[in-house]
Copies of this chain bind each other. A is one copy, B any other.
Amino acid sequence: MVDVAKRAGVSLKTVSRVVNGSPQVQPELAARVQEAIAELGFRRNHLASALRSGQQTATVGLLIEEIANPFYATIAGVVAETARAHDTLLFTASSEEDPVREELLLRDLCARRVDGLIVVPAGYDHGFLRSEAERGLPVVFLDRPGGGLVADTVLLDNRGGTRAGVERLLAGGHRRIAVLLDSVGVYTMRERLAGAQEALAAAGLPYDPALVREGVKDPDSAAAVVAELSDVDAYVCLNNRITVGALQELVRRGSDAELLGFDDFELSYLMPRRFTVIAYDTRELARRAAELLFARIAGDKTWPRTEVLPTHLIERGLR
């Protein structure tokens, strides 16, 4: 800026005014400054500007589990769009379900003085964010509740989703209903399992632990579990990776058992057999979180809110 000022024969402050589009500057001077800026290839240092003004950095952070996963990619897309509408740049970081990494990344984001944070929690304690939050850093938890910090939260009705799905299975006369899930260590899995169990209990069905299979981490192990549990008349899969594996195995065996899966997925309508998904609007989920965040950044000081989005059942697959 000093160089630009020298070249344009004005003071540093005038350059600053021009760069910031301040109206209080003579057009002629402004033109000279613009010229000098172009000649020198000057580009304002946003870091220095944010440092001095102490105001906002026009940056927000998004912490998700894994960006390559379509669910999180969709979320990132919506948050990026919203950020863009607010002339804000977006840091994206992935915790990979690791609470240690989560804390490291969140601390780093704070150190870069982001204006706000959207977090899909990997860990259970976010107390380390409290001092920042108290100083005015807005935090929104997405898809899972955070811990040790009162903050805005946007969730899915996980429990209601499986409850409704299992009720439909029961209404269809199915009694031997297996549930396949990843890990009860994850909030959404616990909720979804609870919803299924609520529906089973309400129908007076005895709890059969042999029909609840945890540790199904990928499509292949889902297929293996389905192969093993062949005397079942309906399978409930608590995420779409499990659903895909189960589906493949059912097709392979030519089984006509019912299949109910949480999460819709791309091309589900082209799958080779009929099944039911518990679907929801991922974009809306992210939109709510992003809007909440930018409302906070704009100064909304009302009490933190928790919003819960509905799910609905959709028939998928060919035939």
Residues in chain A within 8 A of chain B (CB atoms): 41, 43-48, 50-51, 57, 59, 66-70, 72-74, 76-78, 80-81, 84, 89-94, 105, 107-113, 131-132, 244, 247-248, 251, 265-267, 270-272, 318
Contacts and interface: CB of A to CB of B under 8 A. Distances in A.
Nearest to A57: B47
18 contacts: A41-B132, A43-B132, A44-B111, A45-B51, A47-B51, A48-B51, A67-B76, A68-B77, A68-B78, A73-B73, A80-B94, A84-B93, A89-B93, A89-B108, A244-B270, A251-B270, A251-B318, A270-B271
State the number of copies, please.
Answer: 2
Contacts of A46: 108, 111-113
Given A131-B41, A244-B270, A93 B93 contact: no
Contacts of A266: 70, 266-267
A41 B66 CA distance: 29
Given A43-B132, A51-B48, A94 B109 contact: no
A214 to B, nearest CB: 25
Most buried by B among A67, A109, A267: A67
Contacts of A113: 45-47
